[in-house]
């Protein structure tokens, strides 16, 4: 795994949201309940910035059309679509690292969901 330092916990701070760019890739960082999550910033729907979204009940809500992506998986249950997410590591000194290989959880097919 290749980890890239993208920010510090202090920069994320009380805003709980931060947009960073790594190698031309825009990443939205979110912090809630002591955990940090990294999402591709541009929404899979119509490229609105998820960084401008709202955190609510373990989800980030896109400001474009209110799709609700699960913070743990990036999955949008109503649409059955996934926003790319990235593994995050926070060191003891507060440095936030992101692994840029996207980690999306494949949505279950309707057939799998029945079993
Ligand atoms: S652009 Fe995100 S829900 Fe439409």
Q: How many structural domains comprise the chain?
A: 1
Q: Which residues pair with 21 in a beta bridge?
A: 26
**114 located within any domain:** no
pLDDT digits (tens, 9 = 90+) for 15-56: 899 999 998 999 999 999 889 999 999 999 999 999 999 999
pLDDT of residue 23: 85
| Atom number, ligand 1, closest to the C-alpha of residue 67 | 3
**87 located within any domain:** yes
**Whose alpha carbon is nearest atom 3 of ligand 1?**
65
**58 located within any domain:** yes
**115 located within any domain:** no
Q: What is the CATH number for 81?
A: 2.102.10.10
45 touches ligand 1 (CB under 6 Å) = yes
Which of 48-52, 64-68, 110-114 bottoms out in mean pLDDT, i.e. has the lowest? Answer: 110-114
**94 located within any domain:** yes
Residues 51/40, Cβ–Cβ less than 8 Å: no
48 touches ligand 1 (CB under 6 Å) = yes
Tell me the average pLDDT across 111-115. 55
Distance 39 CA to ligand 1 centre (A): 14
In this prediction, residue 2 has a pLDDT band, given cuts at 50, 70 and 90, of: confident
Tell me the average pLDDT across 80-97. 96
Q: State the CB neighbour count (10 A cutoff) for residue 38.
A: 26
The per-residue DSSP string of 33-56 comes to: TTEEEEEESB-TTT--BGGGSEEE
**113 located within any domain:** no
67 touches ligand 1 (CB under 6 Å) = yes
**112 located within any domain:** no
Task: Name the residue among 71, 105, 93, 86 with its Cα closest to residue 23.
Answer: 86
pLDDT of residue 80: 96
Tell me the average pLDDT across 62-78. 97
Distance 42 CA to ligand 1 centre (A): 9
| Residue 34 structural domain | 3-107
Q: How far is CA 111 from CA 6, 71, 84, 108, 114, in A?
A: 39, 25, 23, 8, 5
């Amino acid at each position: 795994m290749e980890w890239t330092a993208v920010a510090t916990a202090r920069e994320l701070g009380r805003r709980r949201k931060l947009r960073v760019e790594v190698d031309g890739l825009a990443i939205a960082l979110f912090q809630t309940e002591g955990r940090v999550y990294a999402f591709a910033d541009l929404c899979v729907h119509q490229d609105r910035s998820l960084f401008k979204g709202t955190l609510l009940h373990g989800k980030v809500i896109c400001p474009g059309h209110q799709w609700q992506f699960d913070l743990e998986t990036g999955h949008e249950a109503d649409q059955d679509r996934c926003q790319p997410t990235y593994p995050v590591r926070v060191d003891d000194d507060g440095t936030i690292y992101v692994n840029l290989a996207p980690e999306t959880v494949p949505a279950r097919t309707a057939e799998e969901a029945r079993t």
